[in-house]
């Protein structure tokens, strides 16, 4: 990880859960991290707890579902911090709904963040990586639910939005042939985060009865990816909690 010290990383959805855990790890290894989220105050709170590390966290307000917000956020990063070397596409939402009687507004909101938001951030990051002229890594935080859909009432279009990320990553690898930019994905099983608690099926108490991963487990996988030498592409990592059976 020494070669990443002082380099710029952009992490979306950085205010809580997996995003916050990844931010902490990157800062601890000396990276300059732009944490993007709508709840920018949460990132500022996180920033205060990272002062002991050699890296630095900067809170940047951004709604990844809005193109103008993404463009403005990445312009700020480049102007104030420099070109990004690492992008972690972590921002993701879910809307408890169904395909039978759900509504287009909820479905579209999920795809606007999970798919189109990822595309917008990737586009801006690749541009800055190319301008920087060096090594770059794009990590997409995916979900095992995109590969094997569990029976969770209200999951609706969420697994489909995650399946799309797998295809987008492969398309991007083709487009980046000849560059030093690597694209990888992390697909965890059930992670104990506020996203899952948002489902009526899962209270915090109910979630505690299931085998789960911690956000820090996903962050450790991200560090492994970055620790690999520049000629190694970790295409995908699947993480599952011991005992998970779906």
Residue positions counted in the chain: 246
Q: What angle do CA 47, 51, 56 make, to 5 degrees?
A: 65
The residue written with tokens 């300059």 in the block is 32
What is the side-by-side strand order in the sheet with 236-239?
56-61, 32-37, 8-12, 84-89, 136-141, 181-188, 236-239
- Residue 134: count of CB within 10 angstroms of its CB: 14
Catalytic residue among 29, 53, 158, 224: 158
Active site residue 158: yes
Between CA 44 and CA 58 the distance in angstroms is: 8
* Cα dist from 35 to 44, 81, 111, 136, 202, whole Å: 9, 12, 21, 17, 28
Per DSSP, the three-state class of 86 is strand
Between CA 202 and CA 196 the distance in angstroms is: 7
The catalytic residues are 158
């Amino acid at each position: 990880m020494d070669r990443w010290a002082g380099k710029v990383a952009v992490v979306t959805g950085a205010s809580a859960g997996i995003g916050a855990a990844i931010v902490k790890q990157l800062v601890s290894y000396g990276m300059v991290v732009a944490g993007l989220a709508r709840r920018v105050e949460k990132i500022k709170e996180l920033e205060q707890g990272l002062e002991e590390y050699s890296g630095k966290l900067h809170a940047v307000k951004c709604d990844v579902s809005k193109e103008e917000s993404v463009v403005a956020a990445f312009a700020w990063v480049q102007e104030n911090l420099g070109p990004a070397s690492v992008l972690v596409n972590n921002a993701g939402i879910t809307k408890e709904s169904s395909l039978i009687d759900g509504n287009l507004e909820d479905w579209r909101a999920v795809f606007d963040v999970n798919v189109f938001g990822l595309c917008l951030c990737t586009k801006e990051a690749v541009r800055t990586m190319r301008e920087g002229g060096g090594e770059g890594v794009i990590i997409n935080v995916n979900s095992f639910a995109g590969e094997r859909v569990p029976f969770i009432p209200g999951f609706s279009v969420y697994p489909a939005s995650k399946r799309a990320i797998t295809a987008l990553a492969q398309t991007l690898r083709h487009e980046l042939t000849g560059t030093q930019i690597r694209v990888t994905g992390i697909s965890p099983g059930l992670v104990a985060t506020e996203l899952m608690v948002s489902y009526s099926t899962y209270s915090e108490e109910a979630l505690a009865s299931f085998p789960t991963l911690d956000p820090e487990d996903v962050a450790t996988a991200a560090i492994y990816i970055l620790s690999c030498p520049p000629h190694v592409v970790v295409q995908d990592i699947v993480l599952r909690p011991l005992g998970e059976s779906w």
